[in-house]
Structure 1
Amino acid sequence: MAKVKLMDVAIARSGDKGDGSNVGIKARTPAIYEFLKENLTTERVKAHFSEICFGDVERYDLPNLQALNFILEDSLGGGGTETLIMDAQGKVHSLALLHMEMDIPDALLAEVK
């Protein structure tokens, strides 16, 4: 096992959905997707965003894209037109999630490199 950042095994994109942000994580390999499907839970994502996400976190699995999509409810301070926070559209939430560290088996990492 090795502790790595998600950016080493996935790419991401994010945006806003009203007062919630939308964060998609796409695995770099099918094996990494299966690992993330089991280990990148809504609870982990909620804990990672604990300082900004005050609502529920929902996850949608997209196996045909080898991706997971997370909706972080109540994470934008009211949304783009109602808040004074810097990133009212959640554009940097994907980068924030890519900085999450996880223990990933060495065999899976070898496939990515």
Structure 2
Amino acid sequence: MKLRAIAHSRTGDKGDTSNISVIAFDETDYNFLRDHVTAERVRQHFSGIVTGEVTRYELPSIGALNFVLTGALGGGVTRSLAIDAHGKGLSSALLDMDLPER
């Protein structure tokens, strides 16, 4: 099952850091997300992109996880020649993560 089947995502950026939120469509899926979308799995998923730490914050009251990826934007928006300098496409890439069937 792909992550996109049970969640949506938004991104933000500051310098060379990307912020990716994963929000469950249904609150009952939050615990499943918490158990399977770990900081380590996100780091592995973006292994060719992220050069720094991946930190996960849990927001159970809104059924969301927030990931902060340091060293994720090729030096930062003003220093990168990347087409997606702000990293907006990272949310779509994260939603392509494979999860076990429930």
2:18 is equivalent to residue 21 of structure 1: yes
The offset of 1:64, in angstroms, is: 1.3
What letter matches 1:6 in structure 2?
A: L
Determine which of 4, 26, 31 is the counterpart of 1:7.
4
With normalisation by structure 2, the TM-score equals 0.95
Q: Which runs of 4+ in 1 moved over 4 A?
A: none
CA shift digits 1:37-62 (9 cap, x unpaired): 11111000000000100100001111
- Map residues 73-92 of structure 1 onto 2, 5 A cutoff: 73-92=70-89
The 1-side partners of 2:99 and 2:46 are apart by: 15
Counterpart position of 1:38: 35
The offset of 1:78, in angstroms, is: 1.2
- Unaligned regions of 5+ residues in structure 1, if any? 106-113
With normalisation by structure 1, the TM-score equals 0.86
Instruction: Give percent identity, aligned residues only.
Output: 48
Counterpart position of 1:69: 66
CA shift digits 1:4-43 (9 cap, x unpaired): 1111100101121210111000011222111111111100
